Structure formats: structure tokens, C-alpha cells
Chains A and B, each alone.
Chain A
Amino acid sequence: MIFCQACGTTNREGSRFCNQCGARLSETADIACPRCGAPNAPDAPHCQKCGLDLARGRNDVWEGPLPRVEVPEEGTPEAPEQPRRRPEGVPLRRRPHGLPPWLDSAEQPEEASSELEAGALLPGEGELALERDEGEWSGEAIPIEPVVGVPYRARERPEQPPTPEEQKAADLFAAVSAEDVFASLQPGAEEEQSERAGRPETWLRVLVALTLLVAVIVPVLLRGGPLSAEGSVPAPVAAAARAIQQVPPGATVLVAFEYDAGLAGDLQPVAEAVIGEFLSRDLHILTVSTQPEGAALAEMALERVLRARGDAGARSRVVNLGYLTGGQAAIRALAVSIPSVIRSDWEGRPLAGNPAVAGLGGAGTLPLVVVLGRDLLAVQAWIEQLGAPFNTPLVAGVPALVEPALVPYQTAGRLQGVVGGLAGAAAFERLAGRPGVGVRSLAAVRAGAWAAGLLAITANIGFALGRLLRRRGP
């Protein structure tokens, strides 16, 4: 080891500059002690660390004169490094203990190992006390550096050509790195991309759009057709209908409108079907929403149902509580006490004195709460803040996309039933005996789904054939 005189850092034998501070090492050509490796002044009679008699040149290993750790002066041409060979006649003493083979390979450069194995070379400059015993280095005779964290910096590695996979990955990385990520955000970028891709993409878009439009418009115009045949009622929808039937007449139920206008097409029919069933059972209805648009959608659904029923008196049994801020905290507060959270309805009329809310405590005590949620999180919030803590029966109305995600909650008993999308609304309307928007839309939904499925299959077959032809081509 070589100690830096500037900062005291320990450096590997053969180092010319300090690993830590970069200072040139051994400016005074120190002599390394053959026993412990400590640096000593050239004229020191004894080793400063182990006390070995350096002046007499005696040591336990090498009987010859002590070599100097030569460091060329700055500005003088360096002599080419020559591997130092063990002088003839110098004995190698056997040591009972040596380093393990793995440490041997870790300590020595690969290119020198074969010659070291043969005993022809010394390991490096300044290492005087080399001892070998059947391929193992002696831990007593040479200074042992800590193995953990030995840097590889000083070791030159031959440059290996990249494999084809590595080259491919590097090319891809270079191509992606060279892309202008902001170009696609500029106006007209999509058109330019489409132009570069060629016209067929636009034609395909037109074809797909026209196919879907025709498939959907025809059943809408015909109000049904062969695809409007009644199917079996899904079990979650039947369970939802049973839960509604168990609510005693005259009771108050809550409907939460947790969706926005984007999903109104899929959820508004569910809302109208459920509200229609509540009104036909002489129930009082409260509607509320933690989404800004939900309150207006609730008002729209109520108006449509009341207009379709032609029952103006039913309006007194419906109260739109409006928009509630606060997310999950608002739901929990509503579950504890409705009057303390909401004091007026959607139109600003005070709730006090309204027969629909007379004597009501919290929403947690209601016999049923229907959550019309745009996604799983919206329904989860009501389950976790109202259904589970207060053991309130819950029914969910969700888009068809979300329906599978709610099956575990129904299995666990946290949801009494689920009405999923237009198809669910149609099944619910049939169960209730009042065909509405859901039934009228069912044939169009089925036709659109069939068309989309056939388009997807056709596109996949075309993609597979194209790839096959490209493989067979030149």
C-alpha cells in the first residue's frame, strides 16, 4: 500500500496518483517495508511500523537488497515499465496459511496471473514480499488490501464489440432519444403523422366509423329489430331488483349521482330505471352528488322520469340535495347526519319542513342507498364510508366497463346488487315491467358490440396476414 502524503489515503501498490485527492504519490521514493508494506524514508534504519531492520537489508523473505519505489520526476521521460522478475536464487519460503483462490483472482490482474502462477513474475512494483504456496498468496508476507470495495478503475478492460441484441437496443435508444417529444403536441402534428403514414389509415378510420354508425343507427331508427330479443336477466341485476323490493313503502332512499356528462349515455338510463321503480313503490327519494355535474344530471333524470310518468304530485317526494364538497369526508358526514351537512336543496329551498327529510338522521340509517358511479373508486368511497361502517344496504349502477370490478364486493356482501350499463338498465326495466331507454337502446348496443367485435377480429386477421406476407417477401 502507498500512503498519500497529502491526505493520508491508502492507495494500491503501483498507484502513481492518489485515488482521493489526485496528488502524486511517493515523491520522495519511499521504501516499502518487505514485511508489513509500510512506507519508509530511504535512509530509515528500521521500519516505522513493524521495526524491521531495513538498514541491514534483512528480512524474513528476501535475502537480497531492498529495492526502491521509484517514481519518475515530472518532466522527465518515463522509462517503459518492465515486469520485474524474481532474481534467481532468491528463495520463496513456504507459509502454512494462504489466501483463498477467489481472493487470489481478485487481487491479481488476469493478464499477469499465468506468469505469476508459473513463478516467473513478481506481482507488481513495490511488492517485495511475494510468497507462493501452490498457487495461494500468503497473507503474512504481502500487504493485504481490503477486498470489499477494491476499485477496478486502474484496470484496463479490452473493448468488446456489442452483440446484435445490444446493438439493436442501443439503436432503438438512440432513435427514441433523438425524437422531439414536443413535436406531437404541436397543432397539426397528428395530421402530419397521418400524412407520413399514408392514406390507408384515414380510409380505415372512415371504414370503421361508417361500419359502427350503420350498425348502431339502423336499430335506433327501427326501434329494435331481431337483436332486441329478451335475454336472461343477469344475477347482479336481479339481486338489485330484490334489494329495492325489500324497502318498505313510504321509506326514504338515497341516490348518489357520482358521474359526469361523459358517461351520462351509459348511466342515465340506469338512473331513470331505478328512480322510476322507487316512485312506483311510493318511496321518498333524495339525490346527492360529490361531483359538480352530478347534481345537474340528477335533476335531468328526475325531470325525465316525472315527465314520462305524468305525475306532478310525485315531485313532492323527491329532493335533490345538490352538490356536496369534501369527497369521502362529505360522504361520512352525510352518513352521520344529513341535516347538519345540507340545509337547503338544489334550488336553495330550506330542507326544514320538507316531508321527504322529516325526522331523518344520517344516511347511514336509510334502508337503501343507490350509488351511480362512473368508476370503481366512486363506488368504493360509498362502500367504505357508508356501507361498511353503518351496515347500510348498497346497490351500484356503473358503466359496463366497471361491472366486473364490483363482483368481489357483491360476493363479500358489501353490495346488494349491480346494474351495469345500458344492458343492465334494459334488464332492470324488463324486471320492473316498464320498458324505457334501456330496452329501446339494447338492440343498438348489441349491434354496435357485434360490429366492434367483428372489426377487431378482421383487423387482427389482416395484421397477422400482413406480417406473414412480409416474412415471406424479399
Chain B
Amino acid sequence: MLTWPTLPPPTVEGIGVTVAAVLTLAVLSAALGSNRVSRLAFAVLVGAAVGYATTLAWWLVLWPRIMRLVRDPLREWPLLVWFALGLLLVVRGLGAASAVSSVPLAFLVGVGVALAAAGAALGTGLPLALVPWPGYGAAVQPAWAKALNTLIVAIGTTGVLLRFAYTTGSQSRLGRLWGGLARNWGRIGYLFILIGFGTLFATAIISLVGVLVSRLQFLLVDWLLVVRG
């Protein structure tokens, strides 16, 4: 049901909704070109996001652990190790003392790389490489469709790679054969690139239109209360 626009009541929530609506309109004004209002809104949003993350890290991560250590130091003493490593990171910017920050950095990078490498190999590399294997993976498509899909992926992948083969080999018979193959198969790869970018563009439009719709619904339904029911 459509009604006349009405501002929300002057409660804390209502004022918050109004501020959010004004900021939304300021950001949307960037569609007509960058202006002072939109830049101000961007600055407010970035600053608020950074401040929010910092506050969250303090209240949800640091403060509870500090309190646990204070209340029961004999049981929670391992936290001291992590606090010490964190403090070593803080001295990163202190000139000569910055060398000691290599210890926690090495710990972070080492653990991170080990987890990421093993996870990528077992979670992404191996399963995706085994997809063309008959009988592997989920039965989301019939066997012939899977075979056709695998063939298209193979043609597209090699074609795109050959599209970027700028050397065509020597002038020998084999070199000329390779050059012709790279040139013509690369044209197929170029078509795949066009289709891929077109698909990405279309899905990006749908995503961004979805965000626009949600913002307009917020303005019309939650703020101005134009649509009810």
C-alpha cells in the first residue's frame, strides 16, 4: 500500500535511519559525478569502518583476554605469550628495535602459508583437477554433459593460453606448424575471453542493481515509509 512520505519518529533508531538515508543519498549522488557531498560521505564511511573495526578488535578480542589473564593468571598464563608476540609487533616501527618483530611475523607468515598451501592443494587444486575424471565429484549433471563441459573447458583454457603466446617459434616446418596452431587456436581463446568478460559484466550489473534496489527499498520503505504492508 502506498502512502505519503513520513519521516520516522525522533527516536534513537529513527535518527539513525535518517542519518543513514542522508548518507545513502550522498553516495548515490556520485552517479552524477564526484561532488563534495559524495566525497564527504565516502570519508565518513571509510572512517567509520576503520573506527568500528578498531573498537571491535579492542572490545571483542583484546579486552576479554586481558580480563581473563587478570582474573586467573595461573590458568591463563599462555595468554602472556600471545601478548608478548603482539607487543613485539607493535615495535615494528621503532627503528633499531624493529628487528625483534620478525619473530611474530615469522610465526604469522609461517602458519598462514602452511595453512593456505595445504588448504589450496587439498581443497581447490586436487578436487578441481579431478573433476573431469569419470565418477568423481557431485552428480549435478549427466555423464555426457560432464564430458562436454570438460571438453569445452579444455578447449577454452588452452585457447586462452595460446592467445597470449606471442612467439611463434622458428621458421622450420615444426615452428611454422606451431605458429599456425597458436594463431588459430588463440582466436578461439579470444572468443572465450569475450564471452567470459561479457558474463562477468552481466553478473556485475545484476549484483549492483541488487544493491541499488536494496538501498532504494531502504529509502522508500524504512525511511520515508512510502510503501507499507
A residues with CB within 8 A of B: 187, 190-191, 194, 202, 205-206, 208-209, 212-213, 216-217, 220-221, 223, 235, 239, 260-266, 268-269, 292-293, 295-296, 322-323, 325, 327-329, 332, 343-344, 346, 348, 380-381, 383-385, 387-389, 399-401, 403-404, 408-414, 416, 421-423, 437, 440-441, 444-445, 448-449, 452-453, 456
Contacts and interface: CB of A to CB of B under 8 A. Distances in A.
Contact of A328 (B39, B52, B112): B112
A260 B49 contact: yes
7 cross-chain pairs, A with B, having the tightest CB-CB distances, nearest first: A265-B214, A384-B119, A384-B123, A448-B209, A388-B123, A292-B53, A265-B211
Most buried by B among A239, A265, A293: A265
Nearest to A387: B123
Contacts, number: 189
Contact of A389 (B57, B122, B130): B122
B102 interface: no
A261 B199 CA distance: 25
A30 B33 CA distance: 78
B44 interface: no
B191 interface: no
B138 to A, nearest CB: 4
Which range contains the number of B residues in contact with the other chain?
35 or more
Interface string B59-84: 01100100000000000000000000
A421 B210 contact: yes
Q: Is the interface of B mostly helix, strand, loop or mixed?
A: helix
Interface string B182-221: 0000000000000000011111111101111111110011
A325 to B, nearest CB: 5
B175 interface: no
A190 B39 CA distance: 12
Given A412-B127, A414-B127, A453-B205, A329 B210 contact: no
Nearest to A328: B115
A3 to B, nearest CB: 40
Contacts of A449: 202, 205-206, 209
A403 B203 contact: yes
Contacts of B149: 411
Given A268-B214, A399-B207, A400-B207, A332 B115 contact: yes
Given A265-B213, A388-B122, A412-B130, A400 B115 contact: no
A389 B61 CA distance: 27
Given A332-B115, A449-B209, 4 more contacts: A194-B33, A266-B211, A385-B123, A445-B210
B34 interface: yes
Nearest to A267: B210
Contacts of A408: 128, 131
Contacts of A409: 124, 127-128
Contact of A263 (B205, B206, B211, B220): B211
A332 B114 CA distance: 12
Nearest to A389: B122
B135 to A, nearest CB: 11
B91 to A, nearest CB: 20
Contact of A344 (B31, B64, B213): B64
B60 A322 contact: yes
A191 B206 contact: no
Contacts of B31: 205, 208-209
A412 B138 contact: yes
22 contacts: A191-B34, A205-B31, A235-B140, A261-B49, A265-B210, A268-B214, A295-B60, A328-B115, A328-B116, A343-B64, A380-B123, A389-B123, A400-B210, A401-B207, A404-B200, A410-B138, A411-B131, A412-B127, A412-B137, A448-B213, A449-B202, A453-B205
Nearest to B64: A344
Most buried by B among A191, A327, A412, A413: A412
Nearest to A236: B140
A239 B140 contact: yes
Contacts of A401: 200, 203-204, 206-207
A346 B140 CA distance: 38
Nearest to B59: A348
Contact of B227 (A202, A221, A388, A411): A221
A325 B57 contact: yes
Given A404-B203, A411-B137, A411-B138, A293 B52 contact: yes
